[in-house]
Amino acid sequence: MTNTVKSSNLGYPRLGEHREWKKLLESYWQGKIDEAQFNETAKKLRLINLKKQIEFGLDIVPVADNSNYDHVLDTIATFNLIPTRFGSYDRPLTLDEYFAVARGNKDNVAADMTKWFNINYHYTVPEFDNTTPRLLENRWLKYWQEAKDELDINGKPVIVGPVTLIKLGKLRGEYVSASSDINQLLEQILPLYGQVFKELQAAGVTWVQLDEPTLVKAVDEADVEPYRRATEYLNEVAPQLNIELQTYFDSIDPYQAVTKLPVQAIGLDFVHGNGENFDNIRKFGFPEDKILAAGIIDGHNVWTANLQEKANFAEELRTLAPKLWLQPSNTLLHVPITKKYETKASPELFGGLAFADEKVQELVALTKKLNGDDVKSIFEQNTAALEALNSSQARNNKVVQEAIQHLSQERFERDSKYAERSKKQQASLHLPLLPTTTIGSFPQSADVRAKRAAWRKGELSEEQYNDFIEAETKRWIQLQEDIGLDVLVHGEFERTDMVEYFGQKLAGFFATQNGWVQSYGSRGVRPPVIFGDVDYTEPITVKESAFAQAQTNKPVKGMLTAPLTIINWSFVRDDIPRATVQNQIALSLRQEVINLEKAGIKIIQVDEPALREGLPLKQRNWQDYLDEAIYSFKITTTGVRDETQIHTHMCYSDFEDIISTISGLDADVISIETSRSHGEIISAFEDAHYDKQIGLGVYDIHSPRIPSVAEIADNIRRGLKVIDHNQFWVNPDCGLKTRNEKETLEALQNLEDARDLVFSEISSN
């Protein structure tokens, strides 16, 4: 008899259909509700998410995938792996204590935060120095029991695996990589996992999802050893508890060693990884005593799956691994919740979209198909929807497609080398030593958001809205001049997001109405959907930039987002190569850069904050990605005169291994986030002999904490140890949109005063 196929999920979005969770967090932070009210509402949201998945017909439902901020921070707090500056605990943390680690407080900077693998989600970095690991609370049992009591769900608790937790953390200021350190930390942490597993087993839990995505970065069998040690221990202490060892985002290289691990199911990603997981199964087979949890629905994009193709693939998988679960490729945390609110999408686009709810329904339909149920009408509707999207006019723009075909015939380089054009730029700009600037955005106040909402609802006319934006821009130009900044920005008050805004202005993009995805904490973004050929139809930023420049004699930067970051922070069509879409965007932005120069803008910043975050997880795939990044950046930026200064910005990056790429972009000035990493990134430039100008972010904008003049001055001095003062710019580490006005002005004044202090020190030497 053929084994029954089951549908499973790996995690569900947290934000709520109408961002209820975001509003809950911010209400608590603003003191509008207390901890008891917070917990009551959070529980309601958790149960809504679980109930929906059950009603869709999902067989195996994840629990404890919820979080009050970040799932890694939850694990840190649960095991008392709290940075020592916040203290050590023998009880569960209060909400205030928990949020202090995430956001900092008046006495302490927040825990380090960086990107989760190669996607636009931020996790809290564990710090293992001088910690005393202990189990403060079994959060996984707590939320499993809640689902059992309230909805009669025997759910699958989702736990960050011990090896991944260690490898994503830091010891002695460096990410943990040495075998001796991993083994030492495992010795401390494994007993805590063991206690969690024993309690889950005693309560009657059947399955645990142990997330070990760092396995996709394992190179050989020796790299699998700590995972073997961990799973053997957990299997011994809780032998009745089934473990689904879950990997995602790429393929497994030491496949045979991983399939021998003592677990009952192995989750593999069959969407990403160039088909290598499937090749391994065909070559080496799959253990008969284990379940293959097959990630066949893309959990990191928003396109309707071709159900017939997926069903055929799943049937082939079942011949190789008869015990089969069908899953998303990764947690659905990274896609919006439901497409039902996208009423402005064209019929062909709407039919081609699948957000989290639709993906769960696709999994259920595929599972029914493999189990012999009648899903003919669902499959027919799916085929028709895909045909309508692919034959649409948006995906068949002949002008754009011909421009892409002719790219190889064009040269994309600046007219002169950096050394020559930098002299022309200084002669034009007359900037002082250690020039001060910001990264681009200023606070999106409640007033700004309210005016934008009223304009969108038609309650405010286009003229009234534009008048407001201009007034706000003019006010902030004056505030910057009052502080004394050298290079100003217009503040980006017309933009909700640095990628979404461009998606609203370029053909081939769709700006969702409710396609929110968590970036970090309460921060949600609406990634634009790139569904067709990208084309430049109108100026995007020229009017606002020119208006701002007219208000001051100081230079105002034009602000754009670079092609690769737009790609990495968007949902990208999957019917053509990503590099082709990237170059379509670059050709469009090139026209915008040229138009900014024509409008009198002398400094143009083309931000590429996501360059490193999008690096393939396997180093063998890096070079193609980096070459494509340089190429598209140069398409965008090389159409201007030598006198026009090109800036770029990057954040959350380890730069040691991509210094040559940074230099290859040939930007005149680069600004880099360094504050949360405590200046470690500075060391990347010690031996690189970087010859262009650079601004190392001197304070952390993600925390409401205001840095002192002395603290900022120390950060400037630290950077000047490795970078010549003639190359050095002084700026925050990122845009200031999420901060309030008071915080922003006080911090920027301290930044300006710190620059003046260091400037005087240099001048006196």
Point out the annotated binding site for 5-methyltetrahydropteroyltri-L-glutamate: 19-22, 115, 120, 569, 613
Round to whole Å and give the CA distance between 209 and 229. 17
Tell me the C-alpha to C-alpha distance, in Å, between residue 171 and each of 76, 136, 186: 14, 22, 13
Rg of the Cα atoms in the chain: 26
Round to whole Å and give the CA distance between 547 and 333. 40
- Stretch (H or E) spanning 182: helix 179-203
Round to whole Å and give the CA distance between 26 and 620. 42
| Tokens standing for residue 8 | 């499973």
Residue type present at position 251: S
Identify the burial level of 462 via C-beta atoms within 10 angstroms of its C-beta, where 0-12 means exposed, 13-18 middle and 19 or more buried: exposed
Tell me the C-alpha to C-alpha distance, in Å, between residue 385 and each of 342, 363, 369, 575: 16, 17, 19, 14
Round to whole Å and give the CA distance between 343 and 515. 12
| Tokens standing for residue 171 | 């010891």
Round to whole Å and give the CA distance between 611 and 564. 7
Round to whole Å and give the CA distance between 247 and 655. 26
Strand partners, 672: 650, 696
What is the Cα 722 distance to its own chain's centre? 30
H-state helical runs in 240-355:
255-259, 276-284, 307-320, 347-352
Contacts of 479 (CB under 8 A, 6+ apart): 745
What is the Cα 751 distance to its own chain's centre? 28
- Asked whether 234 and 193 are in contact (CB, 8 A), the reply is yes
Q: Residue 181: how many CB atoms within 10 A of its CB?
A: 17
Round to whole Å and give the CA distance between 480 and 158. 47
Round to whole Å and give the CA distance between 748 and 699. 10
Tell me the C-alpha to C-alpha distance, in Å, between residue 439 and each of 170, 470, 539: 28, 20, 22
Strand partners, 431: none
- Stretch (H or E) spanning 604: strand 603-607
Tell me the C-alpha to C-alpha distance, in Å, between residue 437 and each of 486, 593, 639, 674: 6, 20, 24, 16
- Asked whether 643 and 683 are in contact (CB, 8 A), the reply is no
- In degrees rounded to 5, what are phi and psi of residue 742? -60, -50
Q: Whose structure tokens read 């499993």?
A: 144
- Asked whether 754 and 746 are in contact (CB, 8 A), the reply is no
- Stretch (H or E) spanning 90: none
Please enumerate, by residue number, every residue annotated as part of a binding site for Zn(2+).
649, 651, 673, 734
Residue type present at position 31: G
Please enumerate, by residue number, every residue annotated as part of a binding site.
19-22, 115, 120, 439-441, 492, 569, 607, 613, 649, 651, 673, 734
| Tokens standing for residue 285 | 């087979």
Q: In the 8-state DSSP scheme, what is residue 15?
A: S
- Asked whether 649 and 603 are in contact (CB, 8 A), the reply is no
Note if 689 is an active site residue. no
Round to whole Å and give the CA distance between 74 and 703. 19
What is the Cα 351 distance to its own chain's centre? 26
- Asked whether 448 and 460 are in contact (CB, 8 A), the reply is no
- Stretch (H or E) spanning 124: strand 122-124
CA-wise closest residue to 545 among 558, 532, 534: 558
Residue type present at position 356: A
Catalytically active residues, by annotation: 702
